Structure 1
């Protein structure tokens, strides 16, 4: 799970948090997998647009 690596947590922990609804970004169950919203993840990590100088 790419989001887990970006958050610095293990894959198992990420799935556990997603199942419990406690992952710090929205996760949606699609079939047997989870989809993570990219924009909130980028915002959480502070990787959004930098102010221009």
Structure 2
């Protein structure tokens, strides 16, 4: 997704948040298989950072 490439100078949280939004968008299309990588990557970063819902 283009938005992820634009986050070059941003922190991990911002990139994970964008990945989460991209994954949600793909899931609604429905492109669930395409969404998995974005959602999995975002989850890993959020867990590493200790982010809570």
Q: Scaled by the length of structure 2, what TM-score is found?
A: 0.31
The answer to which structure has the higher helix fraction is 2
Between structures 1 and 2, the one with greater strand share: 1
TM-score with structure 1 setting the length: 0.31
* Greater relative contact order structure (CA < 8 Å, 6+ sep): 2
